[in-house]
Structure 1
Amino acid sequence: MERRAALVPLRYISLPGQGPEDVVADPAGRVLTGVSDGRILRVDGVDDPSTARVEHVGEIHGRPLGLELLPDGDLLVCSADGALLRLDPDRGAAGVRVLAESAAGERLRFCSNVVALPDGTVYFTVSSRVHPLRDWMGDLVEHTGTGRLLRLEPGAREAEVVLEGLQFANGLARGADDSFLIVAETGARRLTRFPLTGPRAGRAEPLVEHLPGFPDNLWRGAPGGPVWVALAGPRVPPLDLLHRAGPTVRRRAARLAVKAPFRPFGATGVLAIDDDGRTVVPYSPLRSSGGTPVPTRRRAAFRMVTSVCEARGRLVLGSLLERGIAVCETPVTT
């Protein structure tokens, strides 16, 4: 049996907003995130809670999800309401520019995560063409397979569809040499490799299958570093069985799922892989030093880890549900 690495929580930093769904770190070790009311926040001092500062650096019209920091300091923002945006943190609300709102003549829906290549080309995911963010559980249950990977060339106003049929396309990461992308398919519990160059360019292939949980956002710091995978919850065997049923059964189950009160899945955590899909940090559930879930101010556990990044030698975790971020010891890679 594979030994699980320790994921030890150190602190919880409260935010003036709910749902820091994605977290990314800048070269100074500051963490940027977006909360449910559209604000973009920057957290400085994650290694010292007594001096940690939270700064409001921008705001979008919509719900921010995936973020990508550009070399010039601007931030790419995926809006769950159907747009890819660019934000200049020095200009606040006035510094928001729409990059794309459509693909193949169709209005975007549920933009999820984004990466930028050195030549200015941007790739981003659309999780579902059927269900909006508020009904994300419906897409996982219905298993619509309507997720997409899109490309936006420099100067273009409309994105191009380069891959479709994905099961809730979510996090994105670049290969170390920029020759391929890694796409998280949350609904299939897998990571998919999408070559950008070479004889197999444009032909997707499985990289890691049968993950122990639902992969959400991905993070790669240094090009030679590991790809961290946030797992928003563990495998749910009844859902695996439902996915084998016909589309009518899944559609009816999805209608019930979006009406039911949501209870977050059980243990959540992270793992890390290399470019060949080999595990370099085994699945690491979030636990306190005593073996219990990490406490927050009011709850027994930090629920639903949707993102992870490295900042100042620590792992920082984001969540679609929480009102803060968790800071943990970084497990040792193998």
Structure 2
Amino acid sequence: MSLSESLVRLRYRVFPDHVLGEILTKKWVDSAIPFAALVLVIAIFGPIVPRFFQFGTISLLSGEMAELGLIVLGLTVVMISGGIDLSVGSTFALCVTTALYMMNVQGLSLGGGLAATLAVGAVCGAINGFMVGILRMRAFLTTLVTLIIFRSVFDIVFPQISTDIVMNYPQSPAYDALGMGHLLGLPISFWVMVAVALVLHIVLSRGRYGWRLLAVGGARRSAHNAGINVRWTVFSAYVLCSVLVALGAYHFSARIGSAASDIGAGMELQALTATVLGGISLGGGRGSVSKALMGALFVLILSTSLLALAIPGPVNALILGLVLVSAVFLDVRWVKNRHKLLRAVYISPTFNKLPPAISTTVGPLVPNDRLRASEPIGLGIMDGAEDAIFDRDGNLYTGSRHGDIMRWFGPDYTRYEIFAHTGGAPQGMAFDATGNLVVCVGGMGLYQVSPEGEVRLLTAETNRSWTSIADDSVMKLADDCDILPDGRIIFSEATVRFEMHDWYADALESRGNGRLIVYDPNTGTTRTILSDLIFPNGVCTSYDGESVLFAESWACRINRYYYAGPKKGRLERVIEGLPGYPDNINRASDGTYWLALMGSRTPALDLSLEMPGFRRRMARRVSQDAWLMPNLNTGCVLKFNEKGEILESFWDLGGTRHPMITSMREHRGTLYLCGIFNNRMGALKLPDADQNWCGVDSYWGKPA
């Protein structure tokens, strides 16, 4: 390797460019803007506002935060569901009036007054929810109308009972404690708000209801198609919003003890500014409790600081309006351009110089048309069969891009049934000793299908690597699997950075994004045994009982990993410089192995792998359909032995039968071919092969 190549390789090893992209994909990145805004407002007003950092000021601020925070949390729920509620200020006024009347005039207990206040809030929310959720009226106009209606009701009722409210006092010590009591130096109402926020955080991030809210806000039609009751979800979001507003109003009434005719006026501006600044998307489907509270704290500090500096009320409202406009601008621009920024920095090619390709002009790799003699199976019916496998009864199992596992009945394989539905894209398959079918499902993990067709998840997570910025514990592309003699399942995950349909981006990067994983069904544990692999693909337990063979597609090589014996834990190269991109590996009847090449190397792409800067510019400036990609239009099957010697090859140069081959299985004298982009399988007779050989028997022996 030349000095320049060594420097380039060292540069990409020491300064990996993918780090920035992985940071930007973290969920907490969305919190960066509200957090930065909060730090900025504290830095501005802290030095100039008298007693800003004194504990008394913090205690007073936390009491007000309890009220505004609950209102903002309620509005957050509605906005996550894809709606908006402009009536929160008027609802707040009605609820404060209700609380004061029930506690001061009627003399109810803490629980009775709270129940009455929450009931009024629930009614207001139900009115909004019925019109927006059930009748499907536009949220903005509807809540703008209810803002006026609720305010009018307040203006009618409040003058008639205001005197009674002022002339009477509550008779509940618990109510007084809620308004004036402290715990650890902070108001009790603040701790109530914290408790509500924690519960709401768990509901939104871990609960089924929270997931439904996010789904409805993100894509209502898709949520409906997934079986979610969209109308009820939207209705309940408005009810929950108004109930939280009512709870905030109850805290306010306990703290202040009276009300004025302008109570709640302009509160919708404060709440909306807080939510949008907190990163709660106006388009729905995005938001969190922590971000909402950061936005609420920003607005509260800004408002109280301006009042402390004797800034007039109209100027205060003007500044809040300008902050809201800025927050909306940032929200719209971020949502619109986030994917562009990620595309520009996430794909991070590295240096990957391939060894010279094994010659295809002489020897066993000379191109031929031997695959043209194959007969089609399931023509026009199969769709995306990445792998195929046979049971002892001669039934053929294939996957489909629709998530089904299809069982084809021999001997002609014209009849089939849907054996199981996985919900994802079935990839590599293997039978265990008891007849269970183990399946790698792209985007979902490792699954098991019983002989009766019952699907069960085995594992979808492995141990997280210490040096990973992104959480790589969850599997993205479980690819191919095989079973060790002791029953453990070993399988490959092609990439931890990209989804199944973004395989071309991983090819462009050509970095070690993949890993080899072992699942132990006896203990239920999963662990990574090899990492930093370049798109690891086919996995096959070798005949020696001590090692497994696996492919690295974009590195064009076959490796051997020893799981037992004197070489346990060692990794060896078996074949390097393949003329194409290796995929699945399976056993042959004569003690050798079959290998699928899903495509052929091209000089242009090989050269570009030595120029990561060029590939990075291409990813940023050129549309994806114009990228340099692996050539997947020429299918080939190789046979090799334990020493890595290639014995023979089968090609389809014209692509008339099998333009791409991702896997093959030998079964009773016939080689069966499949490809994830093909609409068929192929059956090629092997006259010299063992006509009674079955792959399952080679693993577990023939049944007694």
Query: What's the TM-score, normalizing by structure 1?
Result: 0.86
Distance of aligned partners of 1:250 and 1:200 in 2 relative to their CA distance in 1, 3 Å threshold: farther
Q: Tell me which amino acid in the other structure corresponds to 2:607.
A: L
**Paired-residue identity, %:** 30
The change in CA–CA distance for 1:160 and 1:11 in structure 2 (over 3 A counts) is same
The offset of 1:181, in angstroms, is: 0.5
Give the distance between the partners of 1:216 and 1:127, measured in 2 at CA: 11
Tell me if 1:307 matches 2:663. yes
Distance 1:315 1:146 in 2: 32
**Is structure 2 residue 682 aligned with structure 1 residue 326?**
yes
SS of the residue aligned with 2:371? coil
Q: Which amino acid aligns with 2:392?
A: P
**Paired position in structure 1 for 2:458:** 99
Task: Map 1:13-28; keep pairs closer than 5 Å.
Answer: 13-14=377-378, 16-28=381-393
Q: Quote the RMSD (CA, aligned, Å).
A: 2.4
- Between the aligned partners of 1:253 and 1:170, the Cα distance in structure 2 is 26
Give the whole-Å Cα distance in 2 for the aligned partners of 1:38 and 1:117: 26
Q: Decide whether aligned partners of structure 1 residues 264 and 36 sit closer, same or farther in structure 2, where only a CA change above 3 A counts.
A: farther
How big is the shift at 1:87? 0.5
CA distance in 2 between counterparts of 1:305 and 1:258 reads: 27
Looking at structure 2, the residues matched to 82 and 114 of structure 1 have their Cα atoms a distance apart, in angstroms, of 14
Matched residues in 2 for 1:312 and 1:258: separation?
47
1:198 matches 2:580: no
Q: Could you say which residue in structure 2 is the equivalent of 1:219?
A: 586
**What's 1:2 paired with?**
363
Contact 2:488 2:519 in 1 (8 A): yes
Tell which deviates more after alignment, 144-153 or 12-21: 12-21
Deviation of 1:332 after TM superposition, in Å, equals 5.4
Question: Are 2:600 and 2:630, in contact at CA under 8 Å, matched by a contact in 1?
Answer: no
Are 1:237 and 2:623 matched, yes or no?
Answer: no
Aligned to 2:375: 11
1:142–1:254 contact (8 Å) kept in structure 2: no
Report the count of equivalent residues.
314
Matching residue of 1:274: 641
Higher radius of gyration, 1 or 2: 2
Change (3 A) 1:256 1:141: farther
Q: CA deviation at 1:256?
A: 7.1
The structural deviation recorded for 1:44 is 2.6
What does the per-residue CA deviation read over 1:214-256, in whole Å, with 9 as the maximum and x for residues that have no partner?
Answer: 111111155x52210011011122221122123x544444567
Per-residue deviation, 1:293: 3.7
CA distance in structure 1 between the partners assigned to 2:417 and 2:515 by the alignment: 33
Partner of 2:404: 39
In the alignment, structure 1 residue 79 sits paired with structure 2 residue 441:
yes
Q: Could you list the runs of 5+ residues in structure 2 that have no partner in the other structure?
A: 1-361, 465-472, 690-704
Residue 624 (structure 2) aligned to one of 259, 265, 268? 259
In structure 2, how many angstroms separate the alpha carbons of the residues matched to 1:112 and 1:325? 19
SS of structure 2 residue aligned to 1:200: coil
Counterpart code for 2:426:
P
Question: Residue 490 of structure 2: SS of its match in structure 1?
Answer: strand
CA–CA separation in structure 1 for the residues paired with 2:476 and 2:409: 32
Structure showing greater relative contact order (alpha-carbon pairs closer than 8 Å, 6 or more residues apart):
1
TM-score for both structures, normalised by structure 2: 0.42
Distance 1:251 1:68, change over 3 A: farther
Post-superposition offset of 1:8:
4.2
Deviations 1:38-72 (A, max 9, x none): 110122336x4xx6322221110211111111222
Amino acid at match of 2:442: A
Counterpart of 2:421, as a letter, is E
2:505 alignment counterpart = 138
Higher strand share: 1
With over 3 angstroms needed to count, the CA separation of the structure-2 counterparts of 1:151 and 1:181, relative to structure 1, is same
Tell me whether 1:185 sits opposite 2:547 in the alignment: no
Moved more, 154-163 or 112-121: 154-163
**Alpha-carbon spacing, 1:257–1:73, altered in 2? closer, same or farther (3 Å):** farther
